[in-house]
Amino acid sequence: MKIRKLWLLPILLLGLVLAGCSNKSNTKKSATALTKTQVVQKAKKSFKSGQVIQSVRLATDTSTQLVTANTIFGGNNGTIFHITNQTTSKGKTQSTEEWVNMNNVFINGSSTWYKAKLDSLSGHSYAELVNAIMDNKLILDPSSKLVKAYKMTRKGQTYTLTANLTDKTLMKNAIEPIIATVGQTSAQESVFRRILNYGKLKNMTVKMVVKNNKLSTFTVFVNLKLGKYMTARFGQSYGNFGSQDFLKVPTSVLNAKALPTTKSSKKSPK
Q: What is the pLDDT of residue 3?
A: 47
- CATH number for the domain harbouring residue 224: 2.50.20
Tell me which residues of the chain have a pLDDT lower than 50. Answer: 1-14, 16-17, 24-25, 27-29, 31, 264-270
Q: What percent of the chain has pLDDT over 70?
A: 85
Mean pLDDT of the chain: 87
- The stretches of 32-157 forming alpha helices (DSSP H) are 36-43, 118-122, 126-133, 137-140, 144-149
- Asked if residue 262 is part of any domain, the answer here is no
**Helix (H, G, I), strand (E, B), or coil: what is residue 168?**
helix
* pLDDT tens-digit map of 191-217: 999 999 999 999 999 999 999 999 999
Q: What is the DSSP string of 211-232?
A: ETTEEEEEEEEEEEEETTTEEE
Residues 80, 126: Cα–Cα separation, whole Å: 10
Whole-structure pTM value: 0.83
Q: What is the pLDDT of residue 67?
A: 95
- Asked if residue 184 is part of any domain, the answer here is yes
- Asked if residue 267 is part of any domain, the answer here is no
| Number of separate domains in the chain | 1
- Asked if residue 20 is part of any domain, the answer here is no
